[in-house]
């Protein structure tokens, strides 16, 4: 229970919730506004993180140059995925996105000379040397921590992540209130009607997919900086479905519902770690880890039945052909 009441623990939970907010914001653009059923969002997160780490460790680039290129790489990944697949029917497109995310993960696992293989970024450097890609970030975070007078690095990261998340939320909200955003809604509600009005549906979908990929790439960077090193197993499809849970909790088609869903999900996901009383105490710790996911699933199912539009959503925003 001491951990449950620990400020540092909940600061860490807040950091992860901020990262998931940025990841799920990309899904909100893709699905909530453009109707794209993307089940491979985590792939763009991995592309952003790996591009940054590889350029820093293998090429010796500054992190401040490598990080923007990681974001660009994630956006390009979205374009490359969308060009041959966006004309597919929604269910087929969803299957392709899952396959794409697994291709990215397996390439990262097997291309040991490029990505460090299953050992992850710790093996990016020369043999016998533990590679580090976040030295410049740690220095920057330390300066921010000193300026804010914080004693915890997680509290500092909490502020940085949420400042970036709020800026991205605001920019996305403003963008979706423009004619561009209204066209996306029209495509989501009735693709044929939008096309009959002269709108290039394919191009708008491609733009939404690329923007969502860029946001996932930013989330990947923060994930990399928060955890110091990562491996392909950190980018399993489960992360995408966590982002979908956040959308369902917060509400589809509402930009500012994303952080609400992320915070609720973070509290539920972290809080279920402490279910040590009966009947949970009857299970081993590894078994309780699976029970946590089952409990979260039951909560999501209950929400879908009782309030399918989510906490802040609107039923009219859930139309999808």
| 310 Rama sector, left if φ>0, alpha if ψ -120 to 50, beta otherwise | left
Q: For residues 102 and 174, what is the distance between their CA atoms, to the nearest angstrom?
A: 33
In the numeric block, the tokens 């990215």 are attached to 104
Cα 240-70-9 angle, rounded to 5 deg: 55
Q: Within 10 A of 117 (CB to CB), how many other CB atoms are there?
A: 16
HSE toward the beta carbon, residue 8, CA cutoff 13 A: 6
Q: How far apart are CA 42 and CA 209, in angstroms?
A: 13
pLDDT in tens, 241-283: 999 989 988 888 899 999 999 998 888 877 766 666 666 677 7
* Cβ-based neighbour number of residue 158 at 10 Å: 21
DSSP H or E stretch at residue 75: helix 63-85
Indicate left, alpha or beta for 100 from its phi (over 0: left) and psi (-120 to 50: alpha).
alpha
Enter the tokens of residue 114: 């490029």
Instruction: Provide mean pLDDT across the span 294-304.
Output: 80
For the record, the structure tokens of 256 come out as 């500012």
Give me the pLDDT at residue 132, please. Answer: 85
Residue 175: per-residue pLDDT? 95
How far is it, in rounded angstroms, from Cα 220 to Cα 51?
10
Q: Give the mean pLDDT of the chain.
A: 88
pLDDT tens digits, 6-33 = 677 888 889 999 999 999 999 999 999 9
Three-class HEC string of 267-297: HHHHHHHHCCCCCHHHCCHHHHHHHHHHHHH
Give the lowest-confidence range in 75-89, 107-121, 268-282, 298-312.
268-282
Q: Give the C-alpha separation, 300 to 303, whole Å.
A: 5
């Amino acid at each position: 229970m001491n951990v449950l009441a620990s400020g540092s623990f909940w600061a860490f939970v807040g950091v992860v919730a901020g990262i998931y907010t940025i990841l799920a914001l990309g899904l909100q653009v893709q699905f909530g506004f453009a109707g794209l059923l993307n089940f491979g969002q985590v792939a763009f997160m991995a592309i952003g993180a790996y591009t940054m780490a590889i350029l820093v460790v293998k090429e010796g680039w500054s992190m401040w140059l490598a990080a923007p290129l990681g974001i660009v790489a994630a956006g390009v990944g979205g374009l490359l995925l969308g060009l041959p697949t966006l004309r597919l029917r929604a269910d087929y497109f969803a299957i392709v996105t899952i396959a794409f995310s697994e291709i990215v993960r397996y390439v990262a696992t097997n291309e040991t000379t490029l990505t460090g293989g299953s050992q992850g970024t710790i093996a990016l450097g020369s043999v016998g040397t533990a590679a580090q890609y976040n030295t410049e970030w740690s220095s920057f975070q330390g300066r921010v921590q000193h300026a804010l007078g914080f004693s915890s690095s997680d509290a500092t990261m909490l502020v940085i992540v949420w400042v970036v998340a709020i800026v991205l939320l605001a920019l996305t909200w403003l963008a979706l209130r423009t004619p561009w955003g209204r066209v996306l809604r029209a495509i989501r509600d009735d693709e044929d009607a939008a096309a009959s009005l002269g709108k290039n549906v394919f191009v708008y979908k491609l733009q939404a997919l690329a923007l969502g990929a860029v946001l996932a790439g930013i989330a990947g960077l923060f994930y990399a900086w928060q955890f110091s090193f990562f491996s392909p197993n950190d980018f399993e499809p489960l992360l995408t479905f966590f982002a979908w849970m956040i959308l369902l909790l917060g509400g589809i088609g509402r930009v500012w519902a994303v952080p609400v869903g992320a915070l609720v999900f973070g509290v539920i996901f972290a809080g279920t770690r402490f279910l040590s009383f009966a009947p949970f105490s009857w299970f081993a710790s590894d078994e309780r880890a699976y029970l946590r996911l089952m409990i979260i699933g039951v909560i999501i199912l209950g929400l879908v039945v009782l309030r399918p539009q989510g906490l802040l959503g609107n039923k009219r925003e859930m139309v999808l052909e």
